[in-house]
Amino acid sequence: MTLYTAVPFELVFQGYDQEPEQLHEISTGGIRMQIVAVAPGIGRIVRLLECRLDDYLRPELAPGTLIHYSGAEERNREGQG
């Protein structure tokens, strides 16, 4: 692999050797999404998996947003990135 960049090697591959985060799939309000748990009952949205097209424009569903998910249907996914 050839990589042409002015960015230092350490920054390009930062985090490459770390364990992937454990992802959870939850369904709430008819929207299925992947989240990373940051605290009990609180998660950070990684991506939307199944939703209406309008839901992608909702700022409260943007990747990186923290949500409360206790009571939502949850399925575990081992570190898929």
For each of the chain's 81 residues, which pLDDT tens digit applies? 788 889 988 888 888 888 878 999 999 889 999 999 999 989 999 999 999 999 999 999 999 999 998 766 666 655 444
* DSSP code for 14: T
Give the pLDDT of residue 81: 47
Taking the chain, what is the end-to-end CA distance rounded to the nearest angstrom? 21
Give the pLDDT of residue 15: 80
Give the global pTM.
0.69
33: closest CA among 13, 55, 3, 4? Answer: 55
* DSSP code for 11: H
Give the pLDDT of residue 74: 65
